[in-house]
Chains A and B, each alone.
Chain A
Amino acid sequence: MNLRLLLRSLPSCLFILRSAAWLAPGQARADWLAEWQGELWHVWHACDSKSRDRFRGSPEITDFCLGAFRDAFWLGWNNPHSTPRRIFRSGSASRCSVTLALWTGISLLACLSLPGVRRAIRPSTYRDADGLVMISSGGYSGAQSPSIGFQDYQSWKTSTRHLFTDLAFYQPIRRRVHVTRHRGAELSIGRASDNIFKLLHLEVPRIAPDRSNGDYAAKLFLSERAWRESFGGDPQLIGSVTEVAGLRVLIAGVVSQDSWPLPGQLDAWLIEDERRLSLLPLKSKGFVLAHLQASESRQRADEWRYLSVPREDGTSDHFDCISLAQRERLPFSILLFTLIVALIALPATTALPLGEYPRHSGRLPWPVRMRRWVFFWSKFALVVPLVCFTSLDAAYGSHPLNSTTAQYIQLAVSFFGFLFAFRWILQDQRKRCPVCLRVLSHPVRVGLASRNFLAWNGTELICAGGHGLLHIPELPTSWFGTQRWQYLDPSWGSLFNDAYMPSAGVV
Chain B
Amino acid sequence: MATEPKLSHTAAMILQTIHGGQVYGFSVMEATGLPSGTVYPAMRRLERDGLIVSKWEQQSIADAEQRPLRKYYKLTRGGVATLQAMHERYPLLKKMIADPEVKNA
Which residues of chain A have a CB within 8 Å of any CB of chain B? 34-39, 41-43, 46, 52, 54, 63-71, 74-75, 78
In the bound complex, CA of A279 to CA of B21 (Å): 101
A39:B24 contact, CB within 8 angstroms = yes
Contact flags (1/0) for B63-78 with A, using CB distance below 8 Å?
0000111110000000
- Shortest distance from the beta carbon of B56 to any chain A beta carbon, whole Å: 8
Most chain A beta-carbon neighbours within 10 Å: one of B33, B36, B45, B68:
B36
A163 to B33: give the CA distance in the assembly, Å. Answer: 87
- Tell me if B26 is interfacial: C-beta within 8 Å of chain A: yes
Most chain B CB within a 10 A radius of its CB, from A37, A39, A69: A39
User: What's the A-B contact tally at a CB cutoff of 8 Å?
Assistant: 60
**Contact in complex: A38, B69 (CB < 8 Å):** yes
Complex Cα distance, B66 from A219, in Å, reads 87
Contacts A/B (CB < 8 Å), 11 sampled: A35-B71, A36-B40, A38-B67, A39-B25, A42-B26, A64-B35, A67-B35, A68-B37, A71-B41, A74-B44, A75-B41
Contact, CB under 8 Å: A69 / B37: yes
What is the interface of chain B mostly: helix, strand, loop, or mixed? Answer: helix
CB distance A70 to B41 under 8 Å? Answer: yes
Report yes or no: B41 in contact with A37, Cβ–Cβ below 8 A: no
- Give me the 6 closest cross-chain CB pairs, A-B, nearest first: A67-B36, A67-B37, A38-B68, A70-B37, A71-B40, A74-B41
- Name the B residues within 8 Å of A38 (CB-CB): 24, 67-71
Question: Which residues on the B side are within 8 Å of A63 (C-beta)?
Answer: 35-36
Please list the residues of chain B having a beta carbon within 8 angstroms of any beta carbon in chain A.
24-26, 29-30, 33, 35-41, 44-45, 48, 67-71
| B-side contacts of A70, CB under 8 Å | 37-38, 40-41
Known contacts A41-B67, A71-B41; can you find 14 more A-B pairs with CB under 8 A? A36-B40, A38-B67, A38-B70, A46-B30, A63-B36, A67-B36, A67-B39, A67-B40, A69-B37, A70-B40, A70-B41, A74-B41, A74-B44, A75-B44
Bound: A198/B48 CA distance, A: 75
Give B66 Cβ to nearest chain A Cβ, in Å.
Answer: 10
A66 x B37 contact (CB < 8 A): yes
CB-nearest residue of chain B to A37 = B68
A39-B25, A43-B26, A46-B26 known; A71-B37 Cβ under 8 A: yes
* C-alpha spacing A42/B44, complex, angstroms: 20
Q: CA A39 – CA B30 in complex, angstroms?
A: 12
Cβ contacts under 8 Å, B41 to chain A: 70-71, 74-75
The residues of B that contact A74 with a CB separation of less than 8 Å are 41, 44-45
| Smallest CB gap from A70: residue in B | B37
Residues of A within 8 A of B33 (CB): 54
Tell which of B25, B44, B69 has the most Cβ of chain A within 10 Å: B25
Instruction: Give the distance in Å from the alpha carbon of A4 to the alpha carbon of B86 in the complex.
Output: 42
- Cα(A413)–Cα(B42), bound, Å: 48
Q: Is the CB of B69 within 8 A of A71?
A: no
Q: How far is the CA of A67 from the CA of B26 in the complex (A)?
A: 12
Is the pair B26, A39 in contact by a Cβ cutoff of 8 Å? Answer: yes
Give A38 to B33 CA distance when docked, in angstroms. 19
Bound Cα distance A140, B30 (Å): 76
Please give, as numbers and ranges, the residues of chain A lying within 8 Å of B25 by CB-CB distance. Answer: 35, 39
Residues of B within 8 A of A65 (CB): 36
Minimum CB distance partner of A66 in chain B = B37
B residues less than 8 Å from A37 (CB atoms): 68
Residues of B within 8 A of A36 (CB): 40
